Structure 1
Amino acid sequence: MNAPASSPRDRAHHGHDAEARQDNWIERLRSFVGLGAAPTLREEFAEALETGDEADLSISALERVLLRNVLALKDTRVDDVMVPRTDIDAVSEDMSFAELLATFQEAGHSRLPVHRGSLDEPAGMVHVKDALALIARAAADGGLDAGGVAFKARIADLDLVRPVIYAPPSMAVSDLLTRMQSLHIHLALVVDEYGGVDGLVSIEDLVETIVGDIEDEHDDAEEARIAPDGAGGFVADARASLEDVVEAVGTDFDVSAYSDDVDTIGGLIVTLAGRVPAQGDVVQGPGGRRLEVLEADPRRVVSVRIAPPAPKREDAESDTPGGAADAA
């Protein structure tokens, strides 16, 4: 399927520079870890990580996690990281410019898909930079009037629609990342064999498969909760800070050895596991407490259960027949 040819005539030059810098950063990261390099180099990295010979690579626990995530890109499908259709914020090409601005403010995204009445009839996408550039030009031409024609005009009539990439659900994340870099298009619609839209993937979604969840200054700040589970343990949002977790759980949950590398309980469990663990995975944490992943997706841990500390050996023996208490 071909992407729409329509694109804004007058894009800010610094916009291209910003996207080029982002592309270069991603390319340097991919080159550093060997993605796209000779298969033998990739195999050497994978073997060292698999056998626990990370010391030979002189890398930290956090770097080990990043390496694992990058090497997993070729085996991660687009539909593993996409925003599902039901969660997509999109606009119709018949929407007015004023309504578009309101949607940008409400959705909090920099790019929005544009459709011709239905998501299954995509027209492309609109970038907030182009909307702001239109306002700036109107101001330079004699001021802004909220009732003026520009604010009432349809999106389709304002030459704001950029092309998007179309990707099948089975496409490898690494291939989509390469395609986004080469085309300088940072939004893809995931389409099924019949042309229906299944989901959406932004370049931020792809980067998050490597570095974890990215929250910028426009993301809603929600308090990360830590609550007793009624069985001596705690259930925590993975974003809860280690400082807050220690305050709730107790000082026996000593995380000082990891505080330089990670800030959250989610980061701690990823570091201990050496990868992004799946739902149901359990790792041994500080203070004899087991950490169980209650919810996770391919990019991050969402919630964790911190189990009560395991009983000490002498305590367990004293509670069993023939234990230390009976021996006395």
Structure 2
Amino acid sequence: MPDEVPDSSTGRSWLDRISEFFGSSPTSRLDLVELMRSARDREVVDSDTLGIVEGALEMADMKVRDVMIPRTQMVVIRASSEPREFLPSIIDCAHSRFPVIGDDPDEVLGILLAKDLLPLALDPAKMERFNIKDHLRQALIIPESKRLDSLLRDFRISRNHMAIVVNEYGGVAGLVTIEDVLEQIVGEIEDEHDIDEDDYLIKELGDGEFTIKALMPIEDFNEHFHSKLSEEEFDTIGGLVLQRFGRLPARDESVEFGGFCFTVLSADSRTIRLLHVTPVGSTNDTEARNGDDRP
């Protein structure tokens, strides 16, 4: 019987096989991206795979401060409060984990899991005996300068899904979850509590505030707001906003032009998804024509 021919692909990575297919090996990150794009163009890999690779490469350059939820938006529980005091907030925001603080807002005692409160609903008598400190999980504390790829590794090793971010003085700067990190790789991860972006292009919030999809056509925006933003270079509001930033903005970043303030509500490593819009006063004629307040 002739000897079996060994499988030449054994022990070789997908990158080795793609490089062999195209006759070249990447020597830099840019080369790798171009190689993957060529593979996509030839249908060797699909667009989703390309997006994940690009997201993973971009994540390596990002810091925790780029994706964290700032302190002002954190939902926290004071250790001294009773269940009847903090349960309404927990039910309202529908998060699964909550930082628990002491008398000092910078004193993080641990993390409380919402599921640990379920017995209180089944047996109200337990509410009187509930001691929050008996249910705390150790908090993962990280600096805001930590790299996201390193944080993802820490999450995996420690089996934590949330970390408390501190600044250089040891004060709480915000928090970050494993979902925040993964979204930089695979894009927005939506659940039943997220806004359904497919149901509307624009949603009025009251008091002159609106939520709009970044894919909203500029023509529709102008018609709704009686504005005159330029439609010459871009078709969508998201395109204009990206032009103004000159880069892909992070969540909660704002820019003003055309008489409006645009704040990013939802974005991933590749695109803007949702914007918060507020009129900021009278619109200059030149600014209205060009969609630009630069000289």
Instruction: Name the TM-score, length of structure 1 as normaliser.
Output: 0.54
Asked whether 1:135 is paired with 2:120, we answer yes
Separation in 1 of the partners of 2:108 and 2:98? Answer: 11
Q: Share of identical aligned residues, percent?
A: 28
RMSD: 3.9
2:163 maps to which residue?
188
Gap runs ≥5 in structure 1:
1-30, 35-40, 228-234, 250-264, 270-276, 283-293, 305-328
Q: 2:108 aligns with which of 117, 122, 128?
A: 122
Alignment of 1:160-179 (within 5 A): 160-179=135-154
C-alpha displacement at 1:303, in angstroms?
A: 4.3
C-alpha displacement at 1:47, in angstroms?
A: 1.4
C-alpha displacement at 1:246, in angstroms?
A: 12
Q: 1:73 aligns with which of 50, 59, 66?
A: 59
Separation in 2 of the partners of 1:177 and 1:185? Answer: 10
Separation in 2 of the partners of 1:33 and 1:165? Answer: 34
Asked whether 1:49 is paired with 2:24, we answer no
SS in structure 2 at match of 1:162: coil
- Per-residue deviation, residues 253-304 of structure 1 (Å, max 9, x unmatched): xxxxxxxxxxxx89x98xxxxxxx686459xxxxxxxxxxx66556451349
C-alpha displacement at 1:74, in angstroms?
A: 1.4
**Structure 1 219/239 Cα, relative in aligned 2: closer, same or farther at 3 Å?**
farther
1:12 maps to which residue?
none
Asked whether 1:89 is paired with 2:65, we answer no
**Structure 1 239/208 Cα, relative in aligned 2: closer, same or farther at 3 Å?**
farther
Give the structure, 1 or 2, with the largest relative contact order (CA under 8 Å, sep 6 or more). Answer: 1
Q: Is the 8 A contact 1:111 1:125 kept in 2?
A: yes
One-letter amino acid matched to 2:201: R
1:211 maps to which residue?
186
Q: Is the 8 A contact 2:187 2:268 kept in 1?
A: no
Q: Is the 8 A contact 1:208 1:214 kept in 2?
A: yes
- Per-residue deviation, residues 196-249 of structure 1 (Å, max 9, x unmatched): 00010011111111122222112355754359xxxxxxx951376xxxx69969
C-alpha displacement at 1:164, in angstroms?
A: 1.5
Instruction: Name the TM-score, length of structure 2 as normaliser.
Output: 0.60
C-alpha displacement at 1:131, in angstroms?
A: 1.5
One-letter amino acid matched to 1:135: L
Gap runs ≥5 in structure 2:
1-12, 17-24, 204-210, 222-235, 248-261, 277-295
Asked whether 1:99 is paired with 2:85, we answer yes
Q: Is the 8 A contact 2:214 2:275 kept in 1?
A: yes
Q: Is the 8 A contact 1:94 1:154 kept in 2?
A: no
**Structure 1 189/237 Cα, relative in aligned 2: closer, same or farther at 3 Å?**
same
1:198 maps to which residue?
173
Separation in 2 of the partners of 1:188 and 1:130? Answer: 19
Separation in 2 of the partners of 1:32 and 1:155? Answer: 52
Q: Is the 8 A contact 2:99 2:108 kept in 1?
A: yes
C-alpha displacement at 1:32, in angstroms?
A: 8.0
Q: Is the 8 A contact 1:97 1:153 kept in 2?
A: no
Separation in 2 of the partners of 1:183 and 1:176? Answer: 10
One-letter amino acid matched to 1:225: L
